[in-house]
Amino acid sequence: MSSTYLIVMAFSMIVPFLMQRWLKSTYGKYSKVRNTGNLTGADVAKAMLEANGITDVTVEPVAGQLTDHYDPRAKAVRLSEGNYDQPSVAAMAVAAHEVGHAIQHNTAYGPLAARTALLRPAQIGQSMGPIMVMIGFGAASAIGGAGILIAQIGLVLFGAAALFQLVTLPIEFDASKRAMSEMTRLGLATPDDNSGSRRVLTAAAMTYVAGLATTVAWLLYYASILNRD
């Protein structure tokens, strides 16, 4: 194995692990801190939806921890059990963030359409891109240009996965920005609540940054393999 491969492998294991540890630690801390208004995540979500005139989105509990998400097809804000019915700072932050996505959907926020268009190519690229690169490169000595072409197609597909993650970043940051703004505007959170909420949302955002950084590192590694040929 080359030293470059080992470096990329170590990077792709260590950085996401550290970001996940940061998120779990921060979330764990603020899930034990009661917010000032004694509002559950469900309370916060419903208040934000109502204030923004969004009447066709439901708020539902979902099993698991940090499984919170907004489902645009079902038009549902789904909150993990610990956030749905707990009045913690972490619960209000996570709930507000997911409603931020619902507000994006309701206002036809541009980057959402771009991410939707990239979803299928990104899924294919994430699973098949690296395989095609390695198979194509390995077969190049036997089948020549056809092998390189397979590897190049794999690289493009994997690039779609990186692009999907890149487009996801502003969507996530914007949802957090909307969350903080709406909680303040509606009087749901005090400055102390906002301080903890911001820490939770920042830690969550960094997991997306780590994911993109890891994908880009592998993308550059695969590109360097082809350039050596």
Q: Domains of the chain: which residue ranges? A: 3-228
* Angle made by CA atoms 186, 187, 188, in degrees to the nearest 5: 90
Model confidence over 195-213: pLDDT tens digits?
999 999 999 999 999 999 9
Contact yes or no for 200/89 (Cβ under 8 A):
yes
Which of 60, 81, 98, 172 does the annotation list as catalytic? 98
pLDDT above 70 for 53: yes
> What are the CA-CA distances from residue 28 to residues 5, 15, 32, 156, 221 (Å)?
34, 20, 7, 39, 36
With tokens 């920005």, the residue in question is 177
pLDDT above 70 for 144: no
Q: What percentage of the chain reaches a pLDDT higher than 90?
A: 84
Sign of the four-CA dihedral 19, 25, 31, 35: negative
- Please give the pLDDT value at position 147: 84
Across 92-109, average pLDDT: 97
The closest of 80, 100, 103, 76 to 90, measured between CA atoms, is: 80
Contact yes or no for 194/182 (Cβ under 8 A):
no
Provide the 10 A C-beta neighbour count for residue 181: 12
Q: Is 64 exposed, middle or buried (0-12, 13-18, 19+ CB in 10 A)?
A: exposed
pTM above 0.85, yes or no: yes
Which band of pLDDT confidence, cut at 50, 70 and 90, is reported for residue 226?
confident
182 is catalytic: no
* Angle made by CA atoms 90, 92, 98, in degrees to the nearest 5: 105
Model confidence over 7-38: pLDDT tens digits?
999 999 999 999 999 999 999 999 999 999 99
Model confidence over 62-89: pLDDT tens digits?
999 999 999 999 999 999 999 999 999 9
